[in-house]
């Protein structure tokens, strides 16, 4: 995604630079038209870069939401499985002798510990996924903003140079 955005910005800068070059080589009337075209091209480039930034941020937010949903589903499944195992152990204990009851209590305790560990791991996975997605979205936004600023600055300088030459 980042490379695609950079390629588009580079192409837009090339178009703007070419327009400025054409303006410098043409007569005064053509130079004014080309300067206007370069300015429009720079403005359009900035708008497209902003649109790309918005799209990247939206995609990162969707990825974050999806990761959180998947982690929550995993936690729910682990809890359901742990509850089923605990219930089964309790049923077996009720049908057995006192020794079987003691053994079932031990199994229930182990199942509860495993469920607790599974829940802890699921919570850590959710936290990490949210943190990673937030960092990715932040980095993408910073990169896009920086690239947009540089593109606008370059286009402004090219437009100013073309205007100065005219």
Q: Which ranges of the chain would DSSP assign to H, the alpha helix?
A: 2-25, 28-95, 98-165
Q: Is the confidence at residue 107, as pLDDT, over 70?
A: yes
pLDDT band for 149, please (50, 70, 90 cuts). Answer: confident
- CA dist 35 and 27 (Å) reads 12
Half-sphere exposure of 91 (CA within 13 A, CB side): 6
From residue 93, how far is each of 85, 105, 118 by CA, in Å? 12, 7, 24
154 C-beta neighbours (distance < 10 Å), count: 17
The pLDDT assigned to 155 comes to 76
Q: Which of 33, 53, 22 is nearest to 151 (CA)?
A: 53
User: What's the whole-number mean pLDDT along residues 44-72?
Assistant: 78
């Amino acid at each position: 995604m980042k490379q695609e955005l950079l390629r588009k910005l580079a192409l837009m800068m090339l178009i703007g630079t070419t327009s400025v070059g054409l303006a410098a080589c043409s007569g005064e009337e053509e130079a004014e038209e080309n300067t206007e075209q370069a300015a429009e091209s720079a403005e359009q480039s900035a708008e497209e870069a902003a649109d790309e930034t918005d799209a990247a941020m939206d995609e990162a937010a969707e990825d974050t939401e999806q990761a959180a949903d998947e982690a929550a589903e995993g936690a729910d499944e682990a809890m359901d499985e742990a509850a089923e195992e605990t219930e089964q152990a309790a049923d077996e204990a009720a049908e057995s002798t006192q020794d079987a009851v003691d053994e079932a209590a031990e199994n229930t305790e182990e199942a509860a510990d495993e469920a607790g560990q599974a829940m802890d791991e699921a919570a850590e996975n959710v936290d990490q996924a949210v943190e990673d997605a937030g960092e990715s979205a932040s980095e993408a936004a910073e990169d896009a903003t920086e690239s947009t600023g540089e593109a606008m600055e370059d286009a402004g300088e090219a437009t100013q140079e073309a205007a100065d030459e005219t």
